[in-house]
Amino acid sequence: MSRSNRDSSGGIRKELSAYEYSSMPYIKTLNAVDTIDGTVPLTQGKYVIGSTTALPQGAFPVDYDATKIGSLISIGGTADYTQILSYRYGTSGFWIRTHKNATVPYAWKRIDNIAYYKKTMTELDNIDTLPTLEGSFIVNTTITPGTYPIGITLYAVMTVNGSGNYWTQTISNRDVSVTRQWVRNWYNPSLAYSPWVETTNPEVPEPVDPSQPLYGKTVLFFGDSIIQGAGGLDNIPQYVSVRTGATCINVGVGGTQMAQHVAAPDYDPFSFYALADAFTTDVWTNQDLKAPVIGKEDILALMKTIDLSTVDFIMVAYGQNDRSNEVPVGVLSDTTTDKFYGALKYGMEAIWNTYPNVQFILVTPYHRPKVYVEGELTIEPYADAIVDVAENLYYVPVIDLFRTAGINDFTKLTYLEDGLHPKIAFGYEYLGNKIGGGLLAVI
């Protein structure tokens, strides 16, 4: 996330990555005499935003909690510049907006996992210029010059991969509920990119072959955004269905956790331990209250139609958000839902107490390659906890993606869009086949 210009001594200022920004010292603490809405950009760099007693002037995101200490990154352009807002300590939530031509800024847009992007492109960049960096980039399509596909929205994520004579760009919408994706290539000696081709893959065959091993069986998937996928466009369960023949029902909710969601309470009713209570008691009061807030009314409506007595297998796949929000892992003997161990046990036992015939299959989170976040934690303890519960307490199958998915620093650009979420089509299909194969191996 950066721009290139000259520093005060006349030297060339290098481009700064998201990681370099995260390790930069703060320029100052903004207070009530400052404004974040000025037509003159704040000096490029990082700022502390205090609590409500000293909040600077200007428009903040409607879902920003002003009682928490925040961090604001200002990214230069000249007349155009970008701001990224987040909480400073142990709380998820990232927002982005752009000021264009010293006019009123665009509205804040919430974008998850912004720390994984190499940089935010400005008017000083051009997406048609042969890149020198691999990775994922945030693009405001009205500011950064270049040729864009028809249908792209204001904010997009562009992933660049290649070297030497061959480069590939993949771009996808990032500020709408339904994701579309396009790809194009650059190959010497053409010295230009090919036309954009849409690679969105909304159609996956229905499992209709009675000879498939799990034809006639029903699998219910609980999970976070990894399971929910790109809206109704592309997701892991639909590929598991194709692989196994099972009817797969997806109730994954992006942003949720296994355990209590202290970091983002609006998502808490959709975390695993809370959904287990709702499914077994048919009391959806908390979910009814929060679904409109987080935009999950459609998933809630689906949940209310599901009778767990008709479900053969339940897949439970959480951990990435628990890790991001530093949920305590705990130990195997834990029983409280504020710990990862305890929440997993609570949810499974709540369902078994009412539906003892359902079969659980647990799924560990896969490795997150080179994740740069303040106070970085590894995902491995959460994966180990899931394996521990499966093998040493309830004796149920576990699909250990952490150790078998093959996602690492060398393969991340092949399978992942932003260092975490699968790429549309290929990434989801790859993981769906992994989980589908794992399911067939353990039944």
Under 8 Å CB-to-CB from 298, ≥6 apart: which residues? none
The pLDDT assigned to 208 comes to: 54
Q: How far is residue 22's CA from residue 71's CA, in Å, rounded to a whole number? A: 10
Per-residue confidence in pLDDT tens, the chain, 443 aa: 222 332 332 222 233 444 344 445 677 888 888 888 876 667 777 788 876 667 888 888 888 887 777 777 776 655 667 777 877 654 456 777 777 655 666 677 766 545 456 677 878 788 888 655 666 787 888 888 899 998 888 878 887 766 556 677 878 876 555 567 787 777 655 567 778 877 665 444 455 577 889 999 999 999 998 998 864 457 899 889 988 999 999 999 988 999 999 988 999 999 999 999 999 999 999 999 998 888 788 789 899 999 999 999 999 999 999 998 889 999 999 999 999 999 999 999 999 999 999 999 999 999 987 543 434 458 999 999 999 999 999 999 999 999 999 998 888 888 887 678 888 767 888 999 999 999 999 88
Pair (243, 160) in one structural domain: no
- Give me the residue label for tokens 């665009």: 106
Residue 213 lies in a domain: no
DSSP summary character for residue 265: G
Domain that holds residue 341: 218-442
Q: How far is residue 390's CA from residue 407's CA, in Å, rounded to a whole number? A: 22
Q: How far is residue 236's CA from residue 223's CA, in Å, rounded to a whole number? A: 11
Residue 372 has phi, psi (to 5 degrees) of: -110, 105
CA-closest candidate to residue 427, choices 436, 410, 414: 414
Query: At which of 163, 198, 233 does a domain end?
Result: 198
Pair (318, 170) in one structural domain: no
What is the tally of structural domains in the chain? 2
Token pair for 177: 């509920």
Q: Is the peptide bond before 189 cis (omega within 30 degrees of 0)?
A: yes
Pair (252, 390) in one structural domain: yes
Residue 211 lies in a domain: no
DSSP summary character for residue 193: B
The pLDDT assigned to 130 comes to: 61
**pTM for the structure as a whole:** 0.60
**CA angle, residues 157, 171, 254, in degrees to nearest 5:** 50
Residue 333 lies in a domain: yes
Q: How far is residue 28's CA from residue 34's CA, in Å, rounded to a whole number? A: 11
Residue 210 lies in a domain: no
Pair (131, 228) in one structural domain: no
